[in-house]
Amino acid sequence: MSETWGEDQERSEALARVQAVRAEHQETLLAKANVVGVGIGFRKVRGEATGEVALVVMVTQKVPRAQLTPEDFIPDRIEDVPVDVQAVGELRALG
């Protein structure tokens, strides 16, 4: 039972850390080219969720690093929090 509590505690701490990093960096990330949203979710590798809590940066499309300006590059980690860039296309409000 203590293992489950420990895992839950670790996940809660990871989630709190990602929330704090999101709050601090969201505005800067949204100013980058192609970025349409910033959220919290699970890191994906080859389309499969890993269970690792991450800062999810949503972009219209993924662009090769060589085609990005240094200002628009999104790092793999921010303040030691994993960052997962996910292509979501154009986002539009329903109305």
Question: Along the chain (95 residues), what's the average pLDDT of each consecutive run of 10 residues?
Answer: 64 89 96 94 85 92 90 94 90 71
The domain made up of 2-87 has a fold known as GMP Synthetase; Chain A, domain 3 (3.30.300)
Residue 90 CB-half CA count within 13 A: 3
CB 41 within 8 A of CB 54: yes
Instruction: Tell me the domain boundaries of the chain.
Output: 2-87
Q: What is the pLDDT of residue 5?
A: 58
Which residues touch 72 (CB under 8 Å, ≥6 apart)? 32, 33, 34
Q: From CA 94, how far away is CA 2, in angstroms rounded?
A: 45
pLDDT score for 55: 96
Start-to-end CA span in the chain (Å): 47
